[in-house]
């Protein structure tokens, strides 16, 4: 099953949201603790929006399923 892995490489607790353009899953915000690595599965291959928020501030990136998205800060999100 196609998936996106989100890694919180910061010292902050953040919330993450993954769109569900490709079916399955939820569009709820989920807490991602500092150092945590979580996986979101989707039904089909394609692109999804991965967004992070701390308080009222948000940032995000579009990624292909299969990506590892690393959060260091709202200004530093990397995709591999």
Is residue 70 predicted with pLDDT exceeding 90? yes
Instruction: Identify the domain containing residue 38 by its residue range.
Output: 3-79
Tens digit of pLDDT for each residue in 47-65?
A: 999 999 999 999 999 999 9
Q: CATH no. for residue 9?
A: 2.60.40.180
pLDDT value at position 56? Answer: 96
Number of domain units in the chain? 1
pLDDT tier at 71, thresholds 50, 70, 90: very high
d(CA 20, CA 56): 22
Supply the pLDDT for residue 52.
Answer: 99
Q: How many CB atoms lie within 10 A of CB 66?
A: 11
Q: What is the pLDDT of residue 27?
A: 86
Half-sphere exposure for 46 (CA within 13 Å, toward CB): 12
For 17-46, how does the pLDDT look when each residue is reduced to its tens digit (9 = 90+)? 999 998 888 889 999 999 999 999 999 999
């Amino acid at each position: 099953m196609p998936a996106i892995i989100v890694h919180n490489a910061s010292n902050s607790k953040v919330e993450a949201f993954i769109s569900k353009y490709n079916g399955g899953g939820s569009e709820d915000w989920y807490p991602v603790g500092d150092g945590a690595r979580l996986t979101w599965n989707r039904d089909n291959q394609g692109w999804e929006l991965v967004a992070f928020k701390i308080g009222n501030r948000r940032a995000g990136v579009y990624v292909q399923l299969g990506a590892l998205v690393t959060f260091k800060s709202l200004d530093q999100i990397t995709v591999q």
